[in-house]
Amino acid sequence: ICGFVGVNMVVASCYAVEFAQSSYRIIGMAAFILCGYFGLFAVNSLAWAILATAGWRWFIVILTAPGILAVLLALYLPESPRYYCVHGEQDKAMAAVRFMARLNKKEIPADVRMVCHKDEDTGSYRELFSRKHLRSTIGLSIIFSTNIFAEYGIVLFLPLYFSSNVCGVGEEIPKHTCTTLSQSDLLDLSLASLSTMIGSILALISAHLIGRLYPIRVSTFLQALFSGLLFICLSKTATVWQATFFRFFIAANNAFIWIIMPETYPTSIRSTAMGMLNATAKIGGFLGTGSVFLFFYIDPKINIGCFFGCVLFGVIGTLIFNQKTKEADLTDT
């Protein structure tokens, strides 16, 4: 059930992008990304603070409470004016804009009108896989799916590693037993999740100052480097730091991806593209967690090899994707 609720992230990202002016879109996506990683950090920190005393049931109850506020806020959200525009419904688009103005305590003159034209290619997969967008679609699919494979996989891998008390690639094979995470383990997970916030912030800064294409290539290469370093087992502390840097670059790549996606496609196919790319990413996430389930208790080295090989495939994806999207001129509405 929680997995199905998670589709809200895809819908919310498309919704937020359509409300942002092209020149300010990076700011909107930055807020979206940082809120997501702040939530991840907050969950890990809350687990460290109360899980031992409150237990899992109350922990989950506390985590679901913000969802009630989200539902209430969603009742006040207008439909996207861009969505109405590309469907040729200019009266509804104008009504949505006026509603937004009232929420922001602004006034729009009564004689202001909006001219919209229906786009026949709205949501077209044919356009998405046309020669114009094919290379970008393939490249982004590879980058996103391999990155989420690594992200979901390492999120499941680390608690198992900590509770098994083995050095991720140690000589001993972990035993399949039910154990609890210590406060030290929960603190390590919190610190590792903190690195995701830092990674996303630095990615947003570099995207603004340098661009998108070259930073994501460098970040993916460094991600592959730190995934490979997990094969080297010096101590538990060293492995925790290696995994922390690995998650740092995973978060940085996610930030780049979320910035690049809306800048790559025009409004008419943007929601379709982002939905399809998120679907491929979720497949990667399923395979990432599935690989940990299948291989961790056989040998953690296999999981690390999966991470390393998958990220190398992601490096190839960054070479396939060759579109510089910063300040790109898109046919937009």
Q: What pLDDT was estimated at residue 110?
A: 79
217 closest CA partner among 70, 93, 315, 101: 315
DSSP 121: T
User: How many CB atoms lie under 10 A from the CB of residue 246?
Assistant: 28
User: What's the whole-number average pLDDT of the chain?
Assistant: 81
Q: What pLDDT was estimated at residue 224?
A: 93
Residue 5 has pLDDT above 80, yes or no: no
Q: What pLDDT was estimated at residue 21?
A: 64
Q: What pLDDT was estimated at residue 219?
A: 94
pLDDT per residue over 117-136, tens digit each? 666 666 678 888 888 889 99
276 closest CA partner among 80, 118, 146, 145: 145
Residue 170 has pLDDT above 50, yes or no: no
pLDDT higher for 146 or 64? Answer: 146
Q: What pLDDT was estimated at residue 138?
A: 94
Q: What pLDDT was estimated at residue 92?
A: 84
Q: What pLDDT was estimated at residue 280?
A: 92
Give the pair of three-digit tokens for residue 22. Answer: 């092209």
In the structure, what pLDDT confidence band is assigned to residue 7 with cuts at 50, 70 and 90?
Answer: low
Q: What pLDDT was estimated at residue 285?
A: 92
Cα separation, 251 vs 246, in Å, equals 9
User: Across residues 192-206, what is the average pLDDT?
Assistant: 87
Residue 243 has pLDDT above 90, yes or no: no
Cα separation, 222 vs 228, in Å, equals 10
Q: What pLDDT was estimated at residue 30?
A: 72
pLDDT higher for 261 or 139? Answer: 139
The answer to which of 11-15, 37-41, 205-209 has the lowest mean pLDDT is 11-15
pLDDT per residue over 282-299, tens digit each? 899 999 999 999 998 888
User: How many CB atoms lie under 10 A from the CB of residue 132?
Assistant: 10
